[in-house]
Structure 1
Amino acid sequence: MLAVIRYTVPESQSQDFVKQGHAILDLLATQPGYQRGRLARSVDEPNLWALVSEWEGAGFYRRALSAARMAMYPLMILMVNEPGAYEDVHVRDGA
């Protein structure tokens, strides 16, 4: 299961955002079902960021969000309000 949370971050806040993003990923990584995560920045729109994580299933992700709520709270004003949980339909690894 893929989780994507997008953020619109003013350039003046990007350094603090990166620190907070690292802390959130560190916290999520301690939760059951976590597989991997990354913080990414759009190459076309530098104010657009994504916190992307992979989970064993949606239940694990939702429980992890509850555990990380306080760490994520300061960034909520920057979140893009859209669905962010995606179920794998097809996965193809590289060679």
Structure 2
Amino acid sequence: MLVVTRLRTPASSSGIDPRAEQDLRAGLLRALGILEAKPGFVTGGVGRNVDDPTLWVLTTRWENVGSYRRALGSYEGKMHIQPLMVHALDEPSAYEVVEEGTDLNEAQPRSIG
């Protein structure tokens, strides 16, 4: 499973707040470090958009959806990762990995709303 979480640096009235940018960057790198230590983690990375420097991304790949959900639900996930999600864009973030010869889940929404 692939997770792509896009986040936006909080803006101040004068534009990009350098302190907020530093805090978000540090928080994302810490989140990645926490996730890397969890069972089922495969790989991940943090990036910043080249055209819009206020847009960041945290990508992770997991053996399965259960591993990802357990990692987020862990003590460290609740204390250090979930607070960052206030900056996340409101969009779906979990994807099936499509590879030759694999079956995909049924094409239907997983949640209501």
TM range (shorter): 0.7 to 0.9
Identify which of 19, 33, 49 aligns with 2:26: 19
Structure 1 or 2: more helix by fraction? 1
Matched, 1:64 2:71: yes
CA distance in structure 1 between the partners assigned to 2:73 and 2:83 by the alignment: 15
Please, which runs of 5 or more residues in structure 1 have no aligned partner? Answer: none
* TM-score (normalised: structure 2): 0.74
* TM-score (normalised: structure 1): 0.87
Q: Percent identity?
A: 41
Please, which runs of 5 or more residues in structure 2 have no aligned partner? Answer: 11-15, 101-113
1:55-90 alpha-carbon deviations (Å, 9 max, x no partner): 111111111111112102332221111111000113
Q: Which residue of 1 aligns with 2:94?
A: 85
Tell me which amino acid in the other structure corresponds to 1:4.
V
Aligned length: 91
Q: What is the root-mean-square deviation of aligned Cα atoms in Å? A: 1.4
Q: Which residue of 1 aligns with 2:55?
A: 48
Tell me which amino acid in the other structure corresponds to 1:28.
L
Q: Which residue of 1 aligns with 2:4?
A: 4
Greater Cα radius of gyration, structure 1 or 2:
2
